[in-house]
Chains A and B, each alone.
Chain A
Amino acid sequence: MGEHLEAFSRARIPYGAWGSSYFPAWQTSALAEVNIGQFAGEAMNRILGLRRVRAEHLDYLVIGSTVPWHWKFWNAPLVASCLGRRVPGFHLEQACATGLQAVFLAAAEVDGGGNETVGVLTFDRTSDSPVGVFPERRGYRRTEALADVWDNFGFDPATGNAMIATAGLAARKYGIQRAEVDDITLCRYQQYFEARESGFLDRVLVPLEVLNMQGRVMGVVDDDTGVRRLTAGALRGMRELDTCVTAGTQTHASDGMACLLVCDRDKVAELSPRPEIDIRLVAKTALRTSPSLMPEAPALAVQKLFDQTGLGIRDMAVIKNHNPFAVNDAIFAKLLDCDWETMNRSGCSLVWGHPQGPTLTRLLIEALEESVDLGGGYVLLFGCAAGDVGIAAILEVSEGGRQR
């Protein structure tokens, strides 16, 4: 391919210095009962320890989360303390775009020369989400109470529509058929279980024991609980909630964290077990589409990204996306002339859930591992986010090959 395209000249993602928790479904694990910021900090420390990366390498921490948590005011510095490092940091959020945007912000921190190694830590607990109480003096009720997760899913103030309505509207716009959406869904589940059974996910996901106040184990987060095998018959028999949207063809809320490092290219040798693998951040873009058409936004963002880079869908070794609705994949395949079976070969968020902040981070880690297995190449990662936003990025993995 000749000259490298790259968004950052010095920033790299060190292969292997990463990991994610499993994403147990909403209200099904010990994560429903703990301070997710503390959990994420301690879990990242644990994951780095397992990867033989000393926490002392961290100079800065970018955290991403979208659901308020106890002591959130203190954000990145507090989470860094839970990780065992008193380093500065920054918190960011933009719904499901958070997990990818955080990586690029970290890269900017590195490329700016201010920090050699920046941690990216994204997390969310959708379970028992907090309820905010907002004085609204002009409002009819004077005071509004808002359950952060479910009330927001149900109402986009900019359009007046629920999240699910955007899937129905987009499906109707593109003439997507229910049968295709069901087929996509079945394929995604099959891909996930194949990846799981092959041991692929063991390289990404780390089982974590959660302790109670007495120091005893109150639960083990070692499964994407809530994920069940679907049959074609069961899927096709599900009631449609909106056009092409059923309980089976949309994702579910879940809890979890995911983390990786971004570092200066000269630092990779210290942080990665396979420093010969060079992971560059090629390009990233975001786009906001017409009101209530969120599922088309990622495809449009990818088109924009291809226009910017001169790359095309055939150049991509790995294609992976955050797809809260299977409709997203159908639209993407149609607009980008892509066989949807070639996407998400190692699983996706349609299957394992939607904790928002860490969703795209886990997807990125899985995609990079997949690319390494394939011997390297371009990785296309994209997804939708609340507000009819699409975000997309291309990364390049120099080489790979699975190691025993």
Chain B
Amino acid sequence: MTTAMRSSTLETLGLGTVHGIFSRGALPATAGELVDRVFGPADERGALVISGANGIVGAGKTMQLGARLEPYGVPIVALDFPGAPDGIGRQYPGLAQAFGRGRAAEVMANVVQLRYDGKHLPEALAGLRPRFLLEAVPEVLEIKKAHYDVFREAFPGIEIRSVTSGFPRSALGVGIAHPAFPHQINKVFETVEPEPSAVTQLLWALGLLPVPVSDHWSFVLDVLFCGLTLAAVRYHEATNMPFWKVDKYVRRLLGPNPFRAHDAIGAKGANFLTWSCLHHLGKQYGGLFEPAPSLVERKDSGRDWYPPNHFRPLVNWSLDAAGEDELATRILGPLYQMTALMVQEQRSHLALMNAIGELCAQFGRGMPAVLRGAGAAAGIRTVEAYHVLDPAAAASPWHPEALERLQSPEWQQLYVNAEHDGTVGVISISRESYSSDVDVELNRAIDWLKDEGIERVIVSGDFHLSTQMVGADTTEFFPALEDEQAGYAISRSWSATVRRLHDEFAVSVGFIGGKRCLGGMLELMMHCRYLVAADSAELGMPEVTLPVIPGMEGCHWPFRKTRPGQWPHLLRLLLEGGQVAAEDAVGWLVDVAEPGKGAFRAAWRIATGTGQLPAERAVAEGRLEGVTRELPKLTGTASPAARQAIVETIRAACEATLAEALEVQARHSGGFMTGRECRSGVIGGLAKKTLTV
């Protein structure tokens, strides 16, 4: 019996809980099993057919799925109308860049390109035994339905999913697997089906991110993205601010550049899709979604939103405080109203709704997190103020009551969940980068487990939304570039949080199951009493390359857990910024590195205290002398000044006691961020790009 703060997102896929993965010692399903279920056994392997394969979506998915299914012997049929321009061949350079020419050639060789007149399927198709059709034909209901009829008649029982960005499953009569741009690399698919299917679970097993959503028009991603675009268009129409400048302000406010994104995707197609989504949403929900005249014009003309290169903007725009308030009201108001509507309609697990915005639409924080941060009262006030400015939206559904549950765990734990069985707890983090939101939620998760009497805990990714752990969210450091105290505060509070993993549990196991764990996330994991990793996981401290000083005790904590003879490994990791495979870091950073199920089982053994256990590497509480006396020979391109600053931090933090070291490290970290090195580095550049409008 497992108790949880909130339901796991894995459960929405029919894959159980994160706790279950550890207690079983295995993932809930494997790609091999699911390929057999979807495409038949190896000796009768059927094909994946992607129709509309030369389009932007079709070609991208042909590459993404083709690369993943080729090792299992699943032929990929790229089907399209005669005369459709070749979209597959153009994918080759990207494929070769990602996988190398040899592997790219294998993937491409597995793609069978066939043509289809819209009525009769090519004879060659039958020989390839189609088992699964991913339809990516134009967004015209009649065309899509006729397409399904042809396939069902020829191949009864074939699984069909549409990539549609708008039509509900109830209208199409097939399930939905709506992918997000850019289609070659974005792993998210919004799925609509009555129950989690083998197809959806296969996507998960292949390392993709299926996200179940309800069967409403336009699903979650397009409500958010098209809704944001509409809000930005309406702001433009109300104020005359050019689209390029609206983009800059929206980016600073929320993260996305809605207009640049349309141009990048291809304005002709993207404008139509955005209009189409909003048009249908408008029919259902009214003025909140009604396409604005400028959007209709762009849909009709297919024009880019940004001016052509020879007409790069000449006159700048700026906003005073009142203008910024109006901007926030006009942008956040409709988005709050839309979010409340989706919550009310229970369109998806809230953590998934939140993640969709971040993973697919460049939101810095998902809309539920933004709304949660504002608070229910402020959110309602913003929507009401927006309705004064845009009375048509007031006539659309508005559910302030949906915000009444803002204090529930579903709202409060968007990024971090905790489960336990009465003895062992599992904290799962569903965000790839550490942020203030994650920090607060992690504290709540720890509090909850402590309240539940749990003394043994595993800390892990969530095996769904976070397939890797890439470190701290660098946007959190922007205030610290101007304010040393802000940098100090972040470093200090985040360090205090992760120390709890060591100090407040009898046993804590950091588990790294994904491809990599870097920077702040690695610092978090190393604070667990044990660190277990998949043997091939890459571990690294890339801070020196940004540069920043590791802020979550990375400059002294691992040294305190390691014999002096191993310190050069840590110094190299910190001062070169490179990565090391987990299996090569056993003994000085990692306690256990095992392939496959072995890692799960090791983590569970340690957490439960059963079987043979590795000795805990205790944290030395006294002063460490001579850590930086002899530096190893270093390679890499990190700046000497940044290296020197990290060396000084290591020396100062290690020569302090454990009790003092947190403060020492936080002071160094905060101080460095206001310096020239950091401000002119990656984070400084990003801050300038984001904050300077």
Contacts and interface: CB of A to CB of B under 8 A. Distances in A.
Contacts of B307: 82
Nearest to A83: B240
Contacts of A209: 315-316, 318
Contacts of A210: 314-316
A211 B293 contact: no
B389 interface: no
B238 interface: yes
Nearest to B243: A84
A215 interface: yes
Interface stretch (A33-41, A93-101, A258-266): A33-41
A53 B317 CA distance: 15
B237 A54 contact: yes
B237 A34 contact: no
A38 B314 contact: yes
Interface residues of A, number: 24
B392 to A, nearest CB: 15
Interface in A58-102: 82, 84, 86
B240 A45 contact: yes
Interface in B293-316: 293-294, 297, 307, 311-316
Interface string B147-176: 000000000000000000000000000000
B237 A211 contact: no
Contacts of B311: 38, 82
B239 interface: yes
Contacts of A56: 237, 293-294
B314 A46 contact: no
Interface in B312-335: 312-318
B492 to A, nearest CB: 36
Contact of A49 (B241, B293, B313, B314): B241
Interface string A1-41: 00000000000000000000000000000000011001100
Contacts of B316: 208-211, 217
A46 B240 contact: yes
Contacts of B182: none
A42 interface: yes
B242 interface: yes
B663 to A, nearest CB: 40
A46 B317 contact: yes
Nearest to A210: B314
Contacts of A34: 314
A49 B241 CA distance: 7
A209 B319 CA distance: 13
Contacts of B237: 54, 56
A49 B312 contact: no
A45 B316 CA distance: 11
A84 B240 contact: yes
Contacts of A43: 315
Contacts of B314: 34-35, 38-39, 42, 210-211
Nearest to A214: B312
Contact of A211 (B238, B241, B294, B315): B315
Nearest to B308: A81
B313 A42 contact: yes
A261 to B, nearest CB: 13
A104 B318 CA distance: 33
B315 A42 contact: yes
Interface in B229-244: 237-242
B233 to A, nearest CB: 11
Interface residues of B, number: 18
Interface in A193-223: 208-211, 213, 215, 217
Nearest to B309: A213
A210 B294 CA distance: 26
Contacts of B317: 46, 49
B10 to A, nearest CB: 44
B240 A39 contact: no
A374 interface: no
A215 B245 CA distance: 10
Contacts of A48: 240
A40 to B, nearest CB: 9
A42 to B, nearest CB: 4
A42 B239 CA distance: 13
A54 B318 contact: no
A55 interface: yes
Contact of A39 (B297, B312, B315): B315
A54 B238 contact: yes
Nearest to B242: A84
A42 B242 contact: yes
A56 B236 CA distance: 10
A216 to B, nearest CB: 9
A82 B314 CA distance: 10
A346 B313 CA distance: 33
Contacts of A45: 240, 242, 315
A207 to B, nearest CB: 10
Interface in A209-254: 209-211, 213, 215, 217
B315 A55 contact: no
Interface string B85-129: 000000000000000000000000000000000000000000000
Nearest to A208: B315
A211 B240 contact: no
Nearest to A30: B314
Nearest to B297: A86
A273 to B, nearest CB: 15
Contacts of A217: 316
A22 B241 CA distance: 21
Contact of B313 (A53, A55, A215): A215
B240 A55 contact: yes
Nearest to A46: B315
Looking at A53, A84, A213, which has the most chain B CB atoms within 10 Å of its CB?
Answer: A84
A286 B318 CA distance: 41
A368 to B, nearest CB: 22
17 contacts: A35-B314, A38-B314, A42-B313, A42-B315, A49-B241, A54-B240, A56-B294, A82-B307, A84-B240, A208-B315, A209-B318, A211-B312, A211-B314, A211-B315, A211-B316, A213-B312, A215-B312
Interface of B: 237-242, 293-294, 297, 307, 311-318
The 9 A-B residue pairs whose C-beta atoms are closest, nearest first, are A49-B240, A209-B316, A42-B315, A55-B240, A45-B240, A43-B315, A49-B239, A39-B314, A38-B314
Given A43-B315, A49-B317, A208-B316, 16 more contacts: A38-B314, A39-B315, A46-B240, A46-B315, A46-B317, A49-B240, A53-B240, A54-B239, A56-B294, A82-B307, A84-B240, A84-B242, A210-B315, A210-B316, A211-B312, A211-B313
